[in-house]
Amino acid sequence: MTTILRVEASIKGEAAVSRQLTGRIVERLLAADPAAAIVTRDLSAGVPVIDGAWLGAVFTPAAARDAGQAATAATADALLAEVRAADVLVIALPVYNFGVPAQLKSWIDQLARKGETFVYTETGPKGLLTGKRAIVAYTSDGTPLGSDLDYASGWLRHMLGFFGITDVEFVAADAIVFDRDAALARADAAIAALAA
């Protein structure tokens, strides 16, 4: 059975265009595979920021962790387990100040663990989360996807690839303030064209 991990990142809740797009993308995938399991991770309330305590916790063997380390590592482990179990990731990427939202950055930081999501080899880094597909719902008020001002999509594509997820597609409703209807129509056409 296919597992789809839907990752929401907008602080706008149900009003978010990115949330509307991820919903439509999931509907498209379910139309082709009605038995697929959906897991939703809503990052809008925030994700713990990594720090020295986090580093100590996740790199301490589970049996040797104290209670605080165990609690810290449990969050990171739960986020990683969701990604490992997913065949398809549907990720909301609302652009904030030309970049990724802080909570989405923190989610990626929680996942970036040497020996878990990547390793370094003689020829460079190697991602360990291979065989997955990612569909990113990119939304912005004024930043066109792939423009010189877009510091979000390239970074997310790079990080996913660093983890071994190289099958990455973008569905964009970008530069919405200039022509909302046209932006949404482009996104709908991209969703309809997605291979399910």
Q: How many CB atoms lie within 10 A of CB 116?
A: 17
Chain center to CA of 70? 25
> Going by DSSP bridges, is the β-strand pair 118-121/124-127 parallel, antiparallel, or unpaired?
antiparallel
The two structure tokens encoding residue 59: 């790199």
Burial string for 132-152 (b: 16+ CB within 10 Å, else e) reads: bbbbbbbbbeebbbeeeebeb
Query: Does 140 appear as a known binding residue?
Result: no
User: Is the Cβ–Cβ distance between 120 and 176 less than 8 Å?
Assistant: no
Is residue 4 within 8 Å of residue 40, measured between CB atoms?
no
Burial of 65 (0-12, 13-18, 19+ CB in 10 A): middle
Mark the binding-site residues, compressed into ranges.
10
Mark the binding-site residues for FMN, compressed into ranges.
10
